[in-house]
A and B are shown apart, each in its own frame.
Chain A
């Protein structure tokens, strides 16, 4: 299951990207990514205004995707939610709002109050330390279920340790990372 899963039947036929068979567009032009950020920024800024939450919105383009970061007051923790579940939902809605205007599926990443940055550090440490244990014991290890974002961070951390490898197993939302010793 793709992390950007979304029904696209109703998208205007005017978009050339819709004709592409590959759902994962290779390298979107910088212009389109900047435009994605602008649309997302407007959508989220209006939300913050309506809720009267303090927040500064920062737009960037990193490794082929638009990145939108919101930092500011304590209210923002409500937009992150337990284990980031509100953040994931808001990211999904923001992607839809972008697609509504551009006609192209978006892989935009939303971060709020540095949550992803903090979570990334935690998960990288979890991946690294578990990989070390697997290496020492020779026994595989199964981690708890994670989102696609979380699994990717763990896979990257495991890949940096020689003598082990990792795979994902199971169906969303129960999909989890397994770390194996190399034979």
Chain B
């Protein structure tokens, strides 16, 4: 199952300025499985993209690979 997290981590690392700061955790709750994406605060905009376009692309690819039940959350660590 960490296969999904590894794949997502790779996809995100390729598109940011600080690849070493990318972490993806698979979290299982009663509501289902979520892949939490942590990136350097300066890279948040890149991972989300204009109008959320890049985040949507990441979700679409993960849904294709992992089936439907997996959510992708980009975690805002800058709060």
Contact = CB atoms under 8 A, between A and B. Distances in A.
Contacts of A144: none
Given A47-B11, A51-B7, A90-B61, A10 B45 contact: yes
Classify the interface of chain B: helix, strand, loop or mixed: helix
Interface string B32-72: 00000000001001100110011011101101110000000
Classify the interface of chain A: helix, strand, loop or mixed: helix
B15 A96 contact: yes
Interface residues of A, number: 25
A7 B49 contact: yes
Contact of A47 (B7, B17, B49, B60): B7
Contact of B60 (A6, A43, A50, A85): A85
B14 to A, nearest CB: 4
A10 B42 CA distance: 9
Contact of A50 (B6, B14, B45, B61): B6
B54 A92 contact: yes
A143 interface: no
A43 B14 CA distance: 7
Contacts of B50: 5-7
B3 A92 contact: no
Contacts of B58: 89, 93
A93 B63 CA distance: 15
B16 interface: yes
Interface string A94-108: 001100100000000
Interface of A: 5-7, 9-10, 43, 46-47, 50-52, 78-81, 85-86, 88-90, 92-93, 96-97, 100
The 7 closest A-B pairs by CB, nearest first: A86-B64, A97-B14, A89-B57, A89-B60, A96-B15, A7-B50, A81-B64
